[in-house]
Structure 1
Amino acid sequence: MNSWAIALYRYRHFVTSSIVNDIKSRFARSRLGALWVILQPLAQVAIFAIVLSEVLMARLPGIESKFGFAIYLTAGLMAWSLFSEIVLRSSTVFIDNANLLKKISFPRICLPVVVAGTALVNNAMLFLAILVVFALLGHWAGVAIAYLPLLVLVTTLFAVGLGLFLGVLNVFVRDVGQVTGVVIQLWFWLTPIVYPANIIPEQFRAIVALNPMTHVVAGYQNVLLRNEAPDLQSLLVPLGLSFVLMFVAFLLFRRASAEMVDVL
């Protein structure tokens, strides 16, 4: 672990430039360029607010604001977009960069870090867009927003651990990448994002509670919608699982690292 930390520090400029280039490549030949980083999530959040609140008239129990459900959904999507982007991109990061790995000598651990860094920048832009739309709706962020960095950290650790584990496996068993996309879609619907947790039948609530992302998403929703602190005790579940996944993923990565380039 220490050797990887030292290697990342030595190649910090490579990691930073890769993140910048990754973001720039999304908007190559675009006249508005990096403005799309703000405009895309801003449009997405605005559409949710208009369609759910004004057209479908969706209401959230216990929340007086007519935009309550739109805010609830947007908060959950902010958590899920960070998690899913890191997991999905990490699961194919070594295969996608096979040519780079064969031509240039650099610590392979840099690639998952670049993926996580890019996802964090994208998520930060989404967060800024969310704050703008929430303000336009008359919903202002409160002091509970101070807990958001903790939630982002837990989400990132969990996603990186899972994504790195799947990424290494995918090099040797290519079916893993295909299955991951399907599982992430199913996982999304098993997490209370587009529906309130209290509508889940009583007999299934214990199963939903085993879902680590249930607690993470609930934390985002409490902070951004209710201006309440997240349930820190419930976050111990995804946090503990994150450390287990990180340990297993790094152990697997260390053992398979020497063979990965030959397989690719």
Structure 2
Amino acid sequence: MSSDRVSIISPFTSFLKHRRLIFDLAKREIASRYKGSAAGLLWSFFNPLLMLAVYTFVFSVIFQSKWAGGSGSKTEFALVLFAGLIIFSLVSEVIGRAPVLIVGNINYVKKIIFPIEILPYVTVASAFFQFVASIFVWLVFYFAFFGIPPITIFLLPLVMIPIVLLTLGFSWMLASLGVYLRDTPQVIAISITILMFLSPIFYSTASIPADYRQLLQLNPLTFAIETARDVMLWGKPVLWVMWLKQTGIALFVFVIGFAWFQKTRGGFADVL
């Protein structure tokens, strides 16, 4: 797809056109991640389980943290914390890998017929597999301690749409930038750590001083994490006006990111 034909529907048509290739590459990437290990794909469940246990112990046992507005139980705190971590992990994995997507796949760049613009889709698909595994672990714990989750949990896929679109848009931008500026991976690694502590993962926005809450709302992860918790744990409806606003912004970044990638890809082969 040439750069002069990029339109608002281009990222969608690219996905539809190459969906089989995206699926095959994602499947191969997931399989290679656990190739040779004794547990294999079971590590997809062990990893979030271990993460859940460690963070719960540190924050609810050592620091004696309690969730503002919650029941105060360690189990509830663990599930609240884990719900936020699941969202953040999906975003951080895709964004963290974006700057080296092209640099790490030079063989694809050299192939004229290979659609390198699908690589962020592949990364998101691979990360989404881990996301689903983590949600499964979360559900098992919820069933064990609280019973059936609220019906609003079925709204979670809709909640994820804005943050996935936004992540893809930034992924295309960073993939292109990583070709021309080799310091990009280091900058993004630091930025992800900062983003983690500036997102309501280990705390709720209710515990933030009122003067700083508006600043926290500028972080796109804030809406995604808090809304995910609302539908997963507390049966609250989605704030649809805010969701539409977030989706509109995310869609803009999604299209702009794709257009930027397509317009800069012409120099990839020369730089690499």
1:68 aligns with 2:68: no
1:216 aligns with 2:221: no
Larger RCO (alpha carbons 8 Å, 6+ apart): 2
1:30 aligns with 2:37: yes
**What are the superposed Cα offsets for residues 100-123 of structure 1, whole Å, 9 maximum, x if unpaired?**
322573111121111111111110
Structure 2 unaligned residues grouped into runs of 5+:
1-6
Distance 1:226 1:48 in 2: 21
Q: How does 1:130-149 map to 2 (within 5 A)?
A: 130-138=138-146, 140-149=148-157
**What are the superposed Cα offsets for residues 158-196 of structure 1, whole Å, 9 maximum, x if unpaired?**
111111111111211222222111112111111111112
Does the residue aligned with 2:202 lie in a helix, a strand or coil?
coil
Measure how far apart 1:10 and its partner are.
4.4
1:13 aligns with 2:7: no
**What are the superposed Cα offsets for residues 107-147 of structure 1, whole Å, 9 maximum, x if unpaired?**
11121111111111110111111111222222531101021
Distance 1:116 1:244 in 2: 18
Mapped contact 2:98–2:174 kept (Cα < 8 A) = yes
TM-score under structure 1 length normalisation: 0.90
The structure-2 alpha-carbon separation of the partners of 1:196 and 1:139, relative to structure 1 and needing over 3 Å to count, comes to farther
When structure 1 is superposed on structure 2, of 119-128 and 235-244 the one drifting more is 235-244
Partner of 1:102: 110
Percent of counterpart pairs with the same letter?
A: 28
Question: Which ranges of 4 or more aligned residues in structure 1 deviate by more than 6 Å?
Answer: none
Aligned residues: 264
Partner of 2:252: 244
Q: How does 1:1-264 map to 2 (within 5 A)?
A: 1=7, 5-49=12-56, 52-53=59-60, 56-64=63-71, 66=73, 67-103=75-111, 105-138=113-146, 140-264=148-272
The structure-2 alpha-carbon separation of the partners of 1:187 and 1:4, relative to structure 1 and needing over 3 Å to count, comes to closer
Mapped contact 1:160–1:246 kept (Cα < 8 A) = yes
When structure 1 is superposed on structure 2, of 192-201 and 45-54 the one drifting more is 45-54
Does the residue aligned with 1:97 lie in a helix, a strand or coil?
helix
**What are the superposed Cα offsets for residues 34-74 of structure 1, whole Å, 9 maximum, x if unpaired?**
11112221232244445544565432233225022222211
Distance 2:17 2:70 in 1: 50
